Amino acid sequence: MKRSIRFLLAILTALFSFGWAIPMFLSIKTIITWGQNEVNPTINHLDKIENSFPHLEFANESLNIAIVWFIIVAISWSSYLIRSFILKKPMIENTNE
């Protein structure tokens, strides 16, 4: 039972730690799509593709989510490392199974 809880905790920690990359990827991909649909036809004097999706607004919101998420992760890991290695106080007690 303890082993499965530790495994689940490890999975959740990994998702928390690297999950910010998903909205960052969406933001970058949306900006590239906007450039291909809006900017490229203008430069090449082609007809624009009519699109009602707010690319730049979505990219901005995705980037904001990614930045806030990354800051939370950085603060969390920094506090964990300071507590564990500098203050020598582990946040999770190591119990023998």
The verdict on residue 27 lying in a domain is yes
How much is the pLDDT for 73?
Answer: 95
pTM score, whole prediction: 0.75
Q: Residue 94 domain-assigned? A: no
Assigned domain for 77 exists:
yes
Q: Where are the beta strands (DSSP E) in 46-97?
A: none
Asked if the structure places residue 97 within a domain, the reply is no
* Domain count of the fold of the chain: 1
Q: Looking at the domain assignment, is residue 67 inside a domain?
A: yes
In a domain, 58, yes or no: yes
Q: Please give the Cα distance from 69 to 72 (Å, whole number).
A: 5
List, for the chain, all residue ranges whose pLDDT scores fall below the cut of 70.
90-97
The residue type found at 86 is I
Q: Say which amino acid occupies 45.
A: H
Is residue 34 assigned to a domain? yes
pLDDT given for residue 29 in this prediction: 95
Inside any domain, residue 28: yes
Q: Domain of residue 79: give its range.
A: 20-86
